[in-house]
Chain A
Amino acid sequence: MKSSVITFPGSNCDRDMDVALKKFGFKNKMVWHADTELPKSDLVVLPGGFSYGDYLRCGSMASKSKIMQSIINFANSGGMVMGICNGFQILVETGLVPGVLLRNKYLEFICKNVFVKINDKKNKYFKNVDNEVLEFHIAHNEGNYFCTNDQLKEIEDNNQVAINYCDRNGKVEDQFNPNGSIKNIAGIFNKEKNVLGMMPHPERMIDTSLSGEDGSLFFKNLINNLK
């Protein structure tokens, strides 16, 4: 399986993602934002970081990068595109997934482990994951998911919510919502579910001695689903 990780000026989780993808069997290529052609890929990842210093709105500048047109075309033809953290912010700015990410409700930068409940498994990202709840890491200032009421209705009607913040038992309640996101939304799909944007970082949970293994579950499963 071939993957591509896009590096924007200010990306800082691109190499972590490269390590994670390779660890679980992807042949990964790093792609520079100013390139126009996307290498042949089964998965494209927009990594976390602070592309363009978060100027204007997080992800807004990166969403207009030269490489993005190829990625939009790739996504629109059914290609798998995953945006993590800043990558999620870039995805909402391109319009590939609905909604926006606002400043965290209590204005603080949040850096901690959280639990997320998988809301939908009828997709290539979470199909066959045995667990209902995964422990991932979040580190963001703008992860407060927001959308209009009309968008929310459409998202829910199409079952586009990927994961919700919850406690370790999978209880999705306001007290387990770290950043004020509508309905505890931590990750969301496009309608076709080939594009996934999420705030949590699975690539930070791939080593028991450093963090945890729930990211390993995610990546092992992902590559099997793509085969």
Chain B
Amino acid sequence: MGLSTKTGRCQALLGFDKIRVVPGTARRGIVIMMENAWLIPLFPLLSFLILLLFGKRLKEASAYVGILFTLASLVYSILVLFERFSEPTYGTNFEWLTIGDIHLTAGFEVNQLNALMLVIVSLVSFLVHTYSKGYMNGDERFPVFYAYLGLFTFAMLGLVISPNLLQTYIFWELVGVGSFLLIGFYFYKEEAKAAAKKAFIMTRIGDVGLFIGMILLFWQTKSFEYSEIFKAVDAGAVSGTMITLTAILIFIGAVGKSGQFPLHTWLPDAMEGPTPVSALIHAATMVAAGVYLVAALFPLFQASKTALLTIAVIGAFTAIFAASIGLVQTDIKRVLAYSTVSQLGYMMLALGSAGYVAGVFHLMTHAFFKALLFLAAGSVIHAVHTQNIEEMGGLWKKLKFTGPLFLIGTLSISGVPLFSGFFSKDEILAAAWEGGHPILFFLALIAAFMTAFYMFRLFFMVFTGKPRTEMKNVHESPANMTYPMMLLGVLAIVAGYVNTPWFGSFLGDWLVDGNPRLGHAHVEGPIWIMIAATVVSLLGIFMAYLMYYKRSLARNWLSGTGDTLHTILTNKYYVDEFYQLTVIAFTKGLSYFLRFIDVFLVEGLVKGVVGIVQGLGRTGSRMQSGQVQTYGAVAFIGLALLAVIYALTGGYLR
């Protein structure tokens, strides 16, 4: 307890003297780790500040600053996670802002979901920090890159330990900025500039939904605290329509961040950023924040059937929509990006089908195997200096580590049995089936088939066959790039075993422990679902094998001779063009219309007034003839008039 009083004093010194422990969660246990969990996000923040101030002098050494601080976060997160296994949820708050009699607080909370997310985020971040040392080697703005990574990691860790919606929103925006800065890291490229701008603005559209939802919810429940909101919802203090409305508005925020349809277009463009960034932000952590948000507010969504259904439908649609685009992309990172969008759709589908555990489980496994895939893709790009898979081929022999690791990731995402993706995907399919959405279930199944197909298409085109262009100096990446990948490779295989139908659903039990609102720890689906999932994924792999390895099937076998479908898919269903022609054109048009008003109406009004005044002045000056006698006459007439008025009225104007 000595430590805890010390912290207390520290916080008092900082002015945080109104610490209060969340009621019902305080217990006289030794929770030293959790008590100080607020330190976890501060490590990367420190790294950010140090690198911002001294980065120029540290040069390449800045990598070590970043790596060490994230390692500290990682170690601490793991300790917190282990402590959380045996201890109840811990949380504390201090007063952040007073508005009259409204007291808004800030603080942190360590519950199951948060503890798990802390480890996932700090782990992936740590690995990406390590990997980047090799990948970004020689870049002029190396320290800046690490500074941005630190900022992002800080925001993401802050996001996952927020105990209330407002704080979540704050960090939610900050991760957006981290992402924005890193997408625009190669700022001198026009594409990077456009992508960064697009990412920020499109996610902001979603954020406004979250913003409105959050505020409406606040006036309904008088609190931003998750626990208070759930209490109010349970007590029926919020009307059904209001729950649905706020839940959907908040979900719009998640749609923006997690790249769900129709706000998905920024995510593939975000691949303009350096590849480690794609792995960290646009695969493993930030884009999953939308899923995390829905999971964190799950009891709210739970209370509205409509909201859940919306989530499920959007999720399922996004899953199949993005997967279909992924079928034809030729940029290695864009294929992965669309697969990310599709997998996030999966998670949303799971949550929408009330499969809380399934969603969070897939969030975790996806973080590992997708980060692995991106890092491996980065390694490939590092080796061949192109992102176009049409120009690759036959890299299996040259990239001794990257190849097999990429294969592990591919197998895992395709849902091949015994890999982590298999278990979580199975869990989602079962949830969708049991949640009573047979149509969505079949959509998800088709998406699973497509996933297996396009992932293996990618694999075969990159690693097998003959090189399609001349590639010189192809070499395996340095150790600090391969080691993180290996660790992720291991995780991509074993992470699934924490929650299987065969060895017990440890993760599920733990996640829902003490929270009956979150639903069942494990959804027992019919056995044929698992078989069907296996079959479709193997079928997808087999078809990819025939088309891209054996080449016994023509590549246009599916689309036939008519290339319409293919064109539509390569152009991503023309969504970008649609936005360009509607929203952006409308905004521009309105702006020009308003400028017209500003220049002609407002200025015109001003000019009119000026004209009148000038006219009056001119008339007046014409009357100033300089003739004293005229002036005298006018003055006399005026006086006479006054006298007459005086005479008639007796002195006062009434």
> Is B truly associated with A?
no
Q: Which B positions have Cβ atoms within 8 angstroms of A?
A: none
Q: Which A positions have Cβ atoms within 8 angstroms of B?
A: none
